[in-house]
With several copies, the nearest count.
Chain A
Amino acid sequence: MKKLIIIFSVLSLLIFIRPVLGLGANNEVMETTAVSNTQVQTPDEENVLDGAFKGIKTFYNYTGFANATSGHIIMIIVGIIFIYLGIKYDYEPLLLIPIGIGVIIGNIPFVAGNQTGIYETGSVLNYLYFGVVKGVYPPLIFLGIGAMTDFSSLIANPKLMLLGGAAQIGVFATFLGALYLGFNLPEAGAIGIIGGADGPTAIFLSSKLANGINVLADGTTVKNLIGPIAIAAYSYMALVPVIQPPLMRLLISKEDRKIKMKPPRAVTQKEKMIFPVVALILTLFISPSALPLLGMLFFGNLLKESGRTERLAETARTKLIDIVTILLGVTVGASTQADIFITKDSMLIFGLGAISFVIATCGGLLFAKFMNLFLKDGNKINPLIGAAGVSAVPDSARVVHTEGLKSDPSNYLLMHAMAPNVSGVIGSAIAAGIILSFLG
């Protein structure tokens, strides 16, 4: 054994250190005499050595150092900031960290042609990005959401659903704003959905309307805005705890903030089972284009509530949603390749996104105050929960809860805020369906 190995290694090392020993390579190849060999040798020697320098020079042109642009650097820093926010301040870490690292990955400077970049056909990232471009990931995430969401607060107090509707003002106002800024109709529709405060819905709609593929009646091709829209949606969702509180204090009076609401009634298991089925049929009959989103959402919820399919629900809300979240996060992040991402449009979209969240929140809050005009004392709702209508589940609900506690430490609003919160999800999915029907 040892013997064998010695021979092995010696032999192979010989081959390897040949140039040092100065034996011609090509003489084994093209039988030449020892003489011509030595003649060939010296040039060959240099050949190899300065070849090495040439090689390094050549290779340098492939490195990121040779191809880096200010855009790449900026985006990489942005990615690092995302990660930092996720880790340090715990803003949506499960999204900001994958997206952040994705932004870095997507902005490593490379030379096109080796199937490296996310926009190069045949690259691995491109295959994984497929699920975003074709809108496949969002419904799978909605499946998991459905399997982890409890709709009882909504069933117990259906009128709170309207708050989820009011917040959709954000969607349509942003849509209008985008039109004013010169985006064409489908692009504006996709941008508007940022106001839905709902990442998967935003990705789904933009993949259908602003995918860089569709051609309009007037022959112009829509821009690919999936990246900016997704990043905007997720960023502002992460910032809900920063955006909403000031608006609440601004629009809701101290007394109103103190309003205590009646505990929601208990909900039977049977109601919970019927809810997803009925909601699915009703909402989709009204807005069929929302089918992939709402269909999967209520499917997941039925798996959870049926009491017979717990193992499927468990898988849907853990491993399945985790896998999809990982792939979605990193590819959405990587889609922010500097040369494609850093454009005036992206900046406009971020501006509109901020406005849309503000409008949505205000819409929810004001509509809550408006509803109170028609409710007799004792039944009045605490207007704060209107802010939860933007969805961004369950952050905005928690923000409401915290604000409520600030004005009255014994006032637990979380349960009540969950109703508008989840109806906000349904609302923006319906809105997405409507926009898709009109502009798809």
Chain B
Amino acid sequence: MTQILLNTDPISEGYVILITGLLIVFGALVILALFFNFGLPVLLYVYKIITKGKDKKISEIKVKGDTGFTGEISAVIGASVHMYLSEQHDHESAILTIKQVKKTYSPWSSKIYGIQNRL
């Protein structure tokens, strides 16, 4: 348990932590926001170039992921979080099912009991 006493007076130290803390929290979220605003698109573009369309599997999911799922629609359809999430979820697992119906699971290999993948 280490404790930094920047000030002898806890109140002043409180203000320090308050200001420091707020700045850092904001900083963190800003960085995150920036990454997903600018970093991610670049990253995905690069990835696409590298894999130049070889990239089947996931792109499928992607496409699927897009169609019939603009925020507006879900916002209207899913007037409740649950509705929204669960639909989303069925949506995915529908795809997964098709993909994984032959999958199976075991701790040595994750491939026995794929059906239970939807348990």
Contact = CB atoms under 8 A, between A and B. Distances in A.
Interface of A: 19, 25-26, 29, 44, 47-49, 51-52, 54-56, 58-59, 87-88, 90, 92-95, 111, 113-114, 141, 144-145, 148, 150, 152-156, 158-159, 161-162, 164-165, 168-169, 171-173, 175-176, 179-180, 184-185, 188-189, 197-200, 214-217, 237-238, 240, 263-275, 278-279, 282-283, 286-287, 307-308, 310-311, 314-315, 317-318, 321, 325, 328, 391-395, 397-398, 412, 414-416, 418, 423, 425-427, 430-431, 434-435, 438-440
Given A278-B39, A434-B21, 15 more contacts: A59-B20, A95-B107, A114-B2, A152-B88, A162-B33, A165-B22, A168-B22, A176-B14, A179-B10, A200-B107, A214-B1, A268-B65, A393-B109, A397-B81, A426-B32
A307 B18 contact: no
B88 to A, nearest CB: 6
20 contacts: A19-B15, A51-B6, A51-B19, A88-B58, A144-B107, A148-B85, A150-B84, A158-B34, A158-B37, A172-B18, A180-B11, A237-B109, A274-B43, A286-B27, A307-B99, A310-B96, A395-B109, A414-B75, A423-B29, A430-B25
Contact of B92 (A148, A156, A238, A269): A269
A274 B108 contact: no
B38 to A, nearest CB: 9
Contacts of B28: 165, 282-283, 286-287, 430
Contact of B105 (A25, A270, A311): A311
B30 interface: yes
Contacts of B10: 179, 184-185, 188
B20 A279 contact: no
Contacts of A328: 107
Interface residues of B, number: 83
B40 interface: yes
B113 A55 contact: no
A394 B64 CA distance: 27
A269 B62 contact: yes
B6 A55 contact: yes
A237 B107 CA distance: 10
Contacts of B4: 58, 438
B32 to A, nearest CB: 6
A48 B15 contact: yes
Given A19-B15, A155-B36, A266-B70, A29 B9 contact: yes
A397 B108 CA distance: 12
A198 B30 CA distance: 21
A52 B16 CA distance: 5
A311 B118 contact: yes
Interface string B55-90: 001100110111001111111101111001100100
Contacts of B26: 162, 165
A296 B62 CA distance: 25
Contact of B24 (A59, A176, A325): A59
A391 B92 CA distance: 26
B17 A55 contact: yes
Contacts of A47: 7, 12
Most chain A CB atoms below 10 A, which of B72, B80, B107, B119:
B107
A88 B57 contact: yes
Nearest to B91: A269
A286 B24 contact: yes
B24 A434 contact: yes
Most chain A CB atoms below 10 A, which of B15, B64, B96, B110:
B110
Nearest to B1: A214
A93 B110 contact: yes
Nearest to A216: B3
B22 A430 contact: no
B5 interface: yes
B112 interface: yes
A26 B119 contact: no
Contacts of B11: 25-26, 29, 176, 179-180
Contacts of A269: 58, 61-62, 64-65, 92
